[in-house]
Amino acid sequence: MVLALPILLFIMALIVNFGTVATWKVRGLSMARQAVWATRWPRSGGSDPRPDYWPDNAGVRAGGAGNLPELDDPRVDLPVARGPMILDTPVNRDLLDPTRGLRQGSADLTRRYPMLGKLGRYRFETETFILDDKWQYRRMGLSRNKQRRIPVIYALRKAPAGVVQAYINAVTAIVNAPFQPQLYPLDRDEEFIDYSARFGWGTCAPDFHPRLHMFCTLDRQVSDRLVEDLIGRIERLPKTMATAFIRLYERVIQELQSRLNGPLPPGQQAAIQAEIAQLQAKIAQLNRFLQTLP
């Protein structure tokens, strides 16, 4: 016992010292991380109180750490961030350079060991870094977060004035077109609306407008593929609409035939049969129209 007890107590003191140093090391990392995030733009960190666990005589600071010499990371090593873009579109590297804006937070502490005081003092300094470049909309010169960043990040080619004016004229002509009522079948067809209300289907007229799906890309191959798909849907629109109307009339005929199988007031059976004949004539007319399509 006399020989073993001092050794055991010495080992226990070392364990306590090691655990204490490790605890303060973790606290120092947390303090450095808090310092660098508390001073991230547009914050200054001046109003953030120091945590109670961090002594007043311990240091904590944050500031700029320059730029990274390089950042070989596949997650950011992409043309949209580093260039060159398709069609030689320049990238504003001052706004979207992932090697810029490195900030550093650090914390340092000097303390005595809780046991074995003759060991003296221990000191450590912890550091943590974040990349914080001009990615926020205000630092890009934008007034609100919903503004498009693409014209700021990339120097896009300007369309010729004649093309811009032609686009404006086309939009104006569509909006002010005198044949607007003739376009109602594209999304407000009366037959779809009336039959839906009559038989309680709970659906209205389908929307046949061949819209260009939203996309955000500077890849000409992607945009060309989407435009070709739009043109294909425009070319298929007569067949699409004719097929939809045939299905509508067939469904209405089924509803009317089911009513013929039940009790009907005098004279209504003849009216239903006449309506079925009219719908069948429309179906035949649409089928002949489909045969004329390429």
Supply the pLDDT for residue 123.
93
String of DSSP letters for 199-265: HT----------PPPP-----HHHHHHHHHHHHHHHHTHHHHHHHHHHHHHHHHHHHHHHHHTS---
Supply the pLDDT for residue 46.
79
Supply the pLDDT for residue 82.
76
Give the Cα separation of 273 and 258 in Å (integer): 12
Task: Note the pLDDT tens digit of each residue in 235-275.
Answer: 999 999 999 999 999 999 999 999 888 887 877 888 999 99
Supply the pLDDT for residue 9.
93
Closest CA to 234 of 170, 186, 188: 186
- Mean pLDDT value of segment 186-206: 90
Output the CA torsion sign for 189, 176, 215, 145: negative
- Mean pLDDT value of segment 170-186: 89
pTM of the model: 0.51
| pLDDT at residue 137 is higher than 90 | no
On average, the pLDDT of the chain sits at: 89
Supply the pLDDT for residue 283.
96
Bigger pLDDT: 122 vs 155: 122
- Mean pLDDT value of segment 224-234: 92
Helix residue ranges, H only, the chain: 4-38, 79-82, 93-96, 150-153, 161-175, 190-199, 220-235, 237-260, 268-291
- Mean pLDDT value of segment 106-118: 91
Q: How confident is the model at residue 32 (pLDDT cuts 50, 70, 90)?
A: very high
| pLDDT at residue 8 is higher than 80 | yes
Task: Note the pLDDT tens digit of each residue in 60-71.
Answer: 999 988 888 887
Bigger pLDDT: 276 vs 100: 276
Supply the pLDDT for residue 95.
80
> pLDDT exceeding 70 applies to what percent of the chain?
99
Supply the pLDDT for residue 12.
95
> pLDDT exceeding 90 applies to what percent of the chain?
49
- Mean pLDDT value of segment 158-165: 90
Dihedral-angle region of residue 32 (phi above 0 means left; psi in -120 to 50 means alpha; beta otherwise):
alpha
Bigger pLDDT: 197 vs 157: 197
| pLDDT at residue 51 is higher than 90 | no
Extract the tokens encoding 277.
């004949």
